[in-house]
Structure 1
Amino acid sequence: MGIITGVCTFLYHLPQIYKWLLKPYYITSFFMTVAFLVVRKAPGLCEHLATQREDGNSCDFDWREVEILMFLSAIVMMKNRRAITLEQHIGNLFLFSKVANVILFFRLDIRLGILYLALCLAFVMTCKPPLYMGPEYIKYFSDKTIDEELQSDSRVTWIVEFYANWSSDCQSFAPIFADLSLKYNCAGLRFGKVDIGRYGEVSQRYRVSTSPLAKQLPTLVLFQGGREIMRRPMVDNKGRAVSWTFNEENIIREFNLNELFQKSKKLSKTRGSKGEDLTVTNNNPKKLDHVYMV
């Protein structure tokens, strides 16, 4: 039953997924993912490749290559157990497939391995995952505006995401945070973001590490009256984030958003209309609700 539901959900959102996958980052990643398969199976090319098969068929996988591909499948399945969004699922597949391809190409021919590794490095340096550009009610802070905004009105509760553009976890979380802002933003409950990859002083001031080893990105912090009330993920004594899943259900429950929204929306909008000083992006003004998880 779960498989049927998943297939139906995928087919329902296929037009949206199709449009999303046509972006250069995903097209290039796809071709790099299937590169070894193409080289090993391509007629006219595979006949000249080395093989360890007993029958000498160089156009089919040998036993070691099958082991590597099976191990790749197991790793991707394990990593995707904690994936929330479609971007995370596909991102894990692309990442570990490229690692497996590097091993396979080096094993096949060191020259092909060096060439593929060079292409991977060039891809990482020149091609970044597309940023979320959908609708949102989010205020983007700088190092000079964040303190002033958080303390300007003690009646307003802020939920602020500390993120970095280079972080794949932050990019995957962007549509979820945007969707929450559309559902819960009101006069007394606001949503904000600050790029601590760009504003290092903010990172130090609010004690959010940008180190990949700390795994603190993204970090959500609840502010009331300019004071921090809670944050997720929490940080242990060694400065590393305590494992926490950034999905919509967890955020609503941990931050008690439903109760906060009911209390906050009663606040009269004395500072102007709802989106007066918000950075609002909407590629489709008629469509504000989206499904991001498959």
Structure 2
Amino acid sequence: MGLLYITLCIVFLMMCKPPLYMGPENIKYFNDKTIDEELEWDKRVTWIVKFFASWPNDCQSFALIYADLSLKYNCTWLNFGKVDVRCYANVSTWYKVSTSPLTKQLPMLILFQGGKEVMWQPQTDKKGRAVSWTFSEENVIREFNLNELYQQAKKLSKAGDNIPKEQPVAPSPTSVSDGESKKEK
């Protein structure tokens, strides 16, 4: 009886595989239907959304950094999301993120405030080519003003629900040129 029990336990353990790690639970995984709904649902929420694919080395090396940033900075009014461009090509096309295997645009981070694109990294030049940018924790914190966004989001949390739903969280840290969003270009 004891030997049978041990054998069954070993077989069970050998058959069970650990779940694939998808990142922190506070990162929202968007698809082609949920991203627009979420951005429009409450415009007070600031979103930092990562567009990624499995093949670029930069996406793989940035995954842990992005997960750490989401753990440090996620709060009620500052949220983190992801879009897998190989699964949701319509979303990547809508936001002008290239899905080509040769692209230098992936990963792409887009900051949304008030439901609209405010800035993104890497930037693109006049010919539409991605400008080289290093995806490090320090660069993301600096370029997206994460410390300031986090402090403003915490202030909103303390203020509670007295804030009208249409009010954006904060002015843009680095504005999109000519006030256009990527969708409008």
TM-score, structure 2 as length reference: 0.71
Q: Deviation above 3 Å: which 4+ runs of structure 1?
A: 131-136
Listed one character per residue, the Cα deviations across residues 224-249 of structure 1 (whole Å, up to 9, x for unaligned) are 01100000000112221100000000
Letter in 1 for 2:133: W
Checking the alignment, whether the CA contact within 8 Å between 2:141 and 2:147 is kept in structure 1 is yes
Listed as ranges, the gaps of 5+ residues in structure 1 are: 1-130, 271-294
One of 97, 114, 121 as aligned partner of 1:232: 121
What's the counterpart of residue 89 of structure 1? Answer: none
Q: Does 1:181 align with 2:65?
A: no
Contact 1:132 1:174 in 2 (8 A): no
Q: Comparing 218-227 with 158-167, which one deviates more in the overlay?
A: 158-167
Return the offset for 1:213: 3.0
Deviations along 1:173-208, one digit per CA (max 9) or x if unpaired, are 110000000000001100000111111111110000
CA distance in 2: counterparts of 1:132 and 1:239, whole angstroms: 34
Determine if contact 2:58/2:135 at 8 Å carries over to the other structure.
no
Give how far 1:165 is off.
2.0
- Ranked by relative contact order (alpha carbons within 8 Å, sequence separation 6 or more), the top structure is 2
Asked if residue 251 in structure 1 is aligned to residue 122 in structure 2, the reply is no
1:150 aligns with 2:43: no
Q: 1:216 aligns with which of 105, 111, 115?
A: 105
SS in 2 for 1:265: helix
Report how many aligned residue pairs link the two structures.
140
SS in 1 for 2:155: coil
Residue 163 of structure 1 corresponds to which residue in structure 2?
A: 52
Going by fraction, where is helix more abundant, 1 or 2?
A: 1
What is the CA–CA distance in structure 2 between the aligned matches of 1:157 and 1:172, rounded to whole Å?
24
1:200 paired to 2:89: yes
Pairwise CA distance, 1:136: 4.9
TM-score, scaled relative to structure 1: 0.45
Q: Deviations over 1:43-83 (max 9, x none)?
A: xxxxxxxxxxxxxxxxxxxxxxxxxxxxxxxxxxxxxxxxx
Amino acid at match of 2:128: G
Structure (1/2) with the larger strand percentage = 2
**Alignment-derived partner of residue 61 in structure 2:** 172
Q: Given that residues 55 and 101 in structure 2 are in contact (C-alpha distance below 8 angstroms), is that contact kept between their aligned partners in structure 1?
A: no
Which structure 2 segments of 5+ residues have no match? Answer: 1-19, 162-185
8 Å CA contact retained: 1:214, 1:239:
no
Q: CA deviation at 1:134?
A: 5.0
